[in-house]
A = this chain, B = another copy of it.
Amino acid sequence: MHTPQIVSLKNERIKAASSLKTGKGRRESGLLLLEGHKLIAEALAAGLTLREVFYSEEDALALSGAGRELATSVSLEVLQRLCDTESPQGVVATAVQPELRLDALKQGGRYLLLENLQNAGNVGNILRSAEAFGVDGVLFCSAAVDLMSPKVLRGSMGSALRMPTAFYRDVGEAVRAIRKAGLPLWASVLREDAVLLTDFRGGSGVMAVGNEGAGLTQELIAESDALVFIPMKGKTESLSAPTAAAVLMWELWGRSPD
């Protein structure tokens, strides 16, 4: 029913959307890919501008009002190609990436610092906990994670579209930003000589969590104002990075009602 020109135009748009599965495609376009009704709704609620909406002809679900005029019907096969997950959720959209970079840390702020953390699923999970437990921003040090990747977006359940973040090349750059805001830096460590988390007074500051295998670097630990230890029972030697981060944020900030 379509003229060849229209078909070709549609294919171009599908190809452009598909390129957003890669970091390069996202960087060059400034766009991101949203899989499923839930993430699209989160993006709209966060004020993102949708560019395209692709939905499967087989999908009986009604499209939400906001995206209807942008909607393009595609086959389930095309939808699968646009999806990072194995089971496409009936609808995929493209949207303009949000601007969430922190220019500077604020006095009195509460921040989580992740050193050398790169696993997208873990980072997504941590962003979600950070939002739930009242953190003002998540800082990344010595590792570049693309927070607009489908995996982080999914794992964060939309928190990646709302949580302010900052990236620092190395420990030195991170510490300068933290000192400039007059914030203390706390290091989460597996050392019995550290302060027990239950004895530690939180409030305003930066809590640093390292990567699961290696922990925090000696360089970061040396710059810290306090070392904090999550007491553990049984024969467990450590917690997963998302669990350690969640328990720290809950205890320092999530438990208090403000």
Residues of A bordering B, CB below 8 Å: 45, 125, 128-129, 131-134, 155, 157-159, 162, 198, 230-240, 242-243, 246-247, 250-251, 254-255, 257
- The one of B131, B247, B254 in contact with A231, judged by C-beta atoms closer than 8 angstroms, is B254
Asked whether, in the complex, the Cβ of B125 is within 8 Å of the Cβ of A234, the reply is no
Asked whether, in the complex, the Cβ of A131 is within 8 Å of the Cβ of B235, the reply is yes
A157 to chain B, nearest CB (A): 7
Residues of B within 8 A of A233 (CB): 131-134, 254
A40 to chain B, nearest CB (A): 15
Residues of B within 8 A of A132 (CB): 230, 232-234, 236, 239
CA distance A258 to B237 in the complex (A): 18
- The one of B134, B155, B234, B240 in contact with A162, judged by C-beta atoms closer than 8 angstroms, is B234
Q: How many copies does the complex hold?
A: 2
CA distance A162 to B133 in the complex (A): 31
Asked whether, in the complex, the Cβ of B131 is within 8 Å of the Cβ of A236, the reply is yes
Asked whether, in the complex, the Cβ of A240 is within 8 Å of the Cβ of B45, the reply is no
Asked whether, in the complex, the Cβ of A234 is within 8 Å of the Cβ of B129, the reply is no
CA distance A159 to B162 in the complex (A): 35
CA distance A11 to B236 in the complex (A): 36
Additional 17 contacts, C-beta under 8 A, given A132-B232, A162-B235: A125-B240, A128-B236, A128-B239, A128-B240, A132-B233, A132-B234, A132-B236, A134-B233, A134-B234, A158-B235, A159-B234, A162-B234, A198-B257, A242-B243, A243-B246, A246-B246, A250-B251
CB nearest to A244 among chain B residues: B246
A19 to chain B, nearest CB (A): 26
- The one of B128, B236, B250 in contact with A250, judged by C-beta atoms closer than 8 angstroms, is B250
CB nearest to A236 among chain B residues: B132
Asked whether, in the complex, the Cβ of A159 is within 8 Å of the Cβ of B128, the reply is no
Known: A231-B254, A246-B243, A246-B246. A236 touches B159 (CB 8 A): yes
A102 to chain B, nearest CB (A): 16
CA distance A133 to B129 in the complex (A): 19
Residues of B within 8 A of A131 (CB): 233-236
CA distance A128 to B234 in the complex (A): 10
CA distance A246 to B237 in the complex (A): 15
CA distance A131 to B125 in the complex (A): 21
Residues of B within 8 A of A45 (CB): 235
CA distance A240 to B255 in the complex (A): 18
CA distance A213 to B162 in the complex (A): 21
Q: 27 pairs across A/B with beta carbons < 8 Å?
A: A45-B235, A125-B240, A125-B242, A128-B236, A128-B239, A128-B240, A132-B230, A132-B232, A132-B233, A132-B236, A133-B232, A134-B233, A157-B237, A157-B238, A158-B235, A159-B236, A162-B235, A231-B254, A233-B254, A240-B242, A242-B242, A242-B243, A243-B243, A243-B246, A247-B247, A247-B254, A250-B250
